[in-house]
Amino acid sequence: MTGEDASVSTPPHAQCEFDGIPGWRRCESQGLTLWLKGYLSGDNAEGLARHLAALPCEDWAQTVAGLDGHFALVAMRGGEILAAVDRIASIPIFYGFDGGAWRVDGNARRLAAGLDATRVNPDAALALAMSGATIGSATLFDGIEALGAGETVLLTPGQEPQRRRLYLYMPRPDHSISADDPELRRRLADVTMGIFEKTVASLEGRAVAIPLSAGLDSRLVACALKELGVENVTCFSYGRRGNFEAEGARRVAARLGYDWVFVEHTPRQQAATFASGECRAFEAFADPLNAIPFHQDFYAVGSLRADGRIPGGTVIINGQSGDYIAGNHIPPSLCTVPGDSLGDLSEEARWVRITSALLDKHYDLWKILRNPENEARISRLLRKEMETTGGGLGKQENDFALYEMSECLNRQIKYVVAGQRSYEWHGYDWRLPLWDNDFLDFWKAAPLAAKAGRRLFRETFAECNWGGVWGGEWEFPQTITPSWLRPVRLAAKLMHAPLGHARWHRFEKNYFGWAMDEVCNYAVAPYGRVARDRRGHRNATSWHAEKYLAGKGLGFDGLPLGSIA
């Protein structure tokens, strides 16, 4: 284990448990103590501490709002504490009241144990059961609050917490810009290269490792680094031997002249990994109590570290989450632009359109849970968050913005971005260039027509062709592994042809999904259990969510085990 996160509490029970904990740095300046984890662009912990020390605590948040980088920080002076996270809450912070003082912690489980917080929030449990993450600031346990993306909280003795949002990713498209304007592509290319120049500067010469797939996001990371002359790069892929993602990555790395290594996953090995003591310890470290931990590359990164193929001191840079930020998750039902003949919908119809799109995309881990009562509960929670945080409905053509905001605050921040905990566990620093402030600002203003279908992203980088790995010959069609399964699956598909697509897809998911899983995440559950499932699991994440909830004494539906719904 490479360490736990930080913990403090306000007087009268002042405690400091930051010292000696990997990742957190402590600075003192004129009576102010600053703990910082992560990295800042154009600033450092010492300079920030001096600046905050010269300000009244009421002005600390505004200083945080101007920081660039991915970080979490806690500033303490006297009995006042400010806790803050960056625009995407890339490093989590939690807080709660112990009856005498407010406590701040970077480890949710430890905080819950210290506060004896065991009362389950039923809405949070249902949302997590259906999607793998809660909605809003709620965690599974009442009394434990998580700072959301771009938020701060000021804790002052004798007062209620002053929670404040400094940034919200809520697209505000500039409709005066045409998606066909070449200037828009030039601006995206310039912004992207500027982001990677900042990234390279922050590395200070350290080696880089890139989890490389056949997709476009990690490819952009590798190509931009190559364009900037960074050579000390190792690309790695993982999964079943022969999977198309790894084969595409191997070809891209070879063209760029970067070393490439492969870590094989097998169902037996992954099942052993998920059941191991180390994995349980990692889950305790990474558990935010508002989403299931991200396991996908846990074994691969640990294996590369153990074998010395990624030395200590290397910085891991992945492509999260270029597909989301560039618009690839916007559902067709919301891809309307000014001039479309959608017609004027009522406010209620618009809310149904937005929440239904979110339900279909993210709240479908178990078909059996998609009943009218649960859908209504989740829809109410989503709508409440969108109204209070995003300001509610605006122009009809901008309904997609509420969808993107909701996905960002919940699925993306709590589950996808939180995947960095795996790197930290194994002792590596990381960077997230495609979540950079400048990238967020660019896509926040991009017109919907440029984002729909990820059009602008694809056109821009195909035109730039950094590294020479863009275009038709560098598109890698998905294939099924292991190869012996292909004829068996084809025969079964032909047999199901008279029964319709729906029947075939149910059969395929139950009986072939486990075997076709390229990274073997399904191995968290035995094949026979998956094949016999009649609850309608969506994918491997369904089974990880069930396991996570079981560890909290809850069923797959978020209800206490043994209860009757």
Starting at the edge strand found earlier in the chain, the sheet holding 15-16 runs 15-16, 7-9, 102-105, 94-97, 145-146
Measure Cα distances from 10 to 56, 101, 377 in Å.
17, 6, 36
Give CA–CA dist 371/353, Å, rounded.
17
| The pair of three-digit structure tokens given for residue 165, joined into one six-digit string | 């949002």
From 467, 441, 428, select the one nearest 203 (Cα to Cα): 428
CA dihedral 335, 338, 343, 346 (to 10 degrees): 80
Which pLDDT score, from 0 to 100, does residue 178 have?
A: 87
Which pLDDT score, from 0 to 100, does residue 236 have?
A: 98
| The pair of three-digit structure tokens given for residue 548, joined into one six-digit string | 């996570």
- Angle among Cα 188, 192, 193 to the nearest 5 degrees reads 120
For the chain, domain boundaries: 7-120+141-165, 182-326+417-470, 332-410, 485-550
The answer to whether 260 and 254 have CB atoms below 8 angstroms apart is yes
Give CA–CA dist 268/266, Å, rounded.
5
Exposure letters 494-530 (e unless 16+ CB within 10 A, then b) = eebeeeeeeebeebebbbbbbbbbbbbbbbbbeeeeb
Which pLDDT score, from 0 to 100, does residue 342 have?
A: 61
Measured between its terminal Cα atoms, the distance across the chain in Å is 39
CATH number of 182-326+417-470: 3.40.50.620
Give CA–CA dist 132/543, Å, rounded.
10
Which pLDDT score, from 0 to 100, does residue 472 have?
A: 87
Residues 6+ apart with CB under 8 A from 198: 41, 68, 436
Q: Is the dihedral of CA 125, 84, 294, 213 positive or negative?
A: positive
Which pLDDT score, from 0 to 100, does residue 499 have?
A: 87
* Predicted TM-score (pTM) of this structure: 0.94
Starting at the edge strand found earlier in the chain, the sheet holding 208-211 runs 259-264, 233-239, 208-211, 315-317, 429-431
Which pLDDT score, from 0 to 100, does residue 6 have?
A: 60
CATH number of 7-120+141-165: 3.60.20.10
Which pLDDT score, from 0 to 100, does residue 117 have?
A: 86
Which pLDDT score, from 0 to 100, does residue 11 have?
A: 44
Give CA–CA dist 396/322, Å, rounded.
26
DSSP, res 416: I
Which pLDDT score, from 0 to 100, does residue 532 have?
A: 96
Q: Is the dihedral of CA 501, 368, 538, 364 positive or negative?
A: positive
User: To which residue do tokens 């994918």 refer?
Assistant: 539
Give CA–CA dist 478/46, Å, rounded.
49
Which pLDDT score, from 0 to 100, does residue 10 have?
A: 43
Question: Which residues partner with 77 through β-bridges?
Answer: 80
Detail the DSSP E strand segments found in 240-333: 259-264, 315-317
The list of the chain residues with pLDDT below 70 reads 1-22, 337-343, 563-565
| The pair of three-digit structure tokens given for residue 347, joined into one six-digit string | 């406010």
Phi then psi for residue 89, to 5 deg, are 50, 45
